[in-house]
Amino acid sequence: MGRQRSYGHVPRPHAILYYSQRTSNGGLLITEATGVSDTAQGYTDTPGIWTMEQVEAWKPIVDAVHAKGGIFFCQILHVGRVSNTGFQPNGQAPISSTEKQVPLNGIDVSEYTPPKRLRTDEIPQIVNDFRLAARNAMEAACVVIT
């Protein structure tokens, strides 16, 4: 799920009400797709968890769910090649394991920028992005899934 209401990739206070209205004692909530880095983005206004500002913004949301007895999971992700230069830092090409573009669910491939294949030496950075995002989600008191 992507609500696309996290302007600047920072969850906003209205998300406190949104998520807390959807929880109950023992209920499980899974966040909307939450990016692990600035290169993980493929949609406008989706939340992230790679900066301390984002972590601090998630905390009151998680607290509201916990206050109602809910369990809150953070769904961390990287969109890979399902992106375009408009979502990438410095207008770079999205990253992937291949340069190939594949149509997804009938979406025209022209909506996506041809991706840049990661070199082997670049893979540890993406792994580290997931590691940092998982730690940040735990700092915000979320349980983490990928």
Q: Give the pLDDT mean for 107-136.
A: 89
The 3-state DSSP class for residue 142 equals coil
What distance in Å separates the CA atoms of residue 29 and residue 32, rounded to the nearest whole number? Answer: 9
Does residue 125 surpass a pLDDT of 90? Answer: yes
Rg over CA atoms, the chain: 16
Does residue 136 surpass a pLDDT of 80? Answer: yes
- Which residues partner with 34 through β-bridges? 76
Q: For residue 113, what pLDDT band results from cuts at 50, 70 and 90?
A: confident
Q: Give the pLDDT mean for 88-92.
A: 94
| pTM recorded for the entire structure | 0.88
8-state DSSP, 139: H
Cβ atoms of 38 and 81 within 8 Å: the answer is no
Q: Give the pLDDT mean for 104-125.
A: 81
Where are the extended beta strands (E) located within 45-146? 71-77, 95-96, 116-117, 143-145
Would you state the structure tokens that stand for residue 101, as one six-digit string? Answer: 């573009």
What distance in Å separates the CA atoms of residue 40 and residue 47, rounded to the nearest whole number? Answer: 11
* Type and span of the H or E element at 34: strand 34-35
Mean pLDDT of the chain: 89
pLDDT digits (tens, 9 = 90+) for 18-56: 999 999 999 999 998 999 999 999 888 999 999 999 999
What distance in Å separates the CA atoms of residue 130 and residue 6, rounded to the nearest whole number? Answer: 20
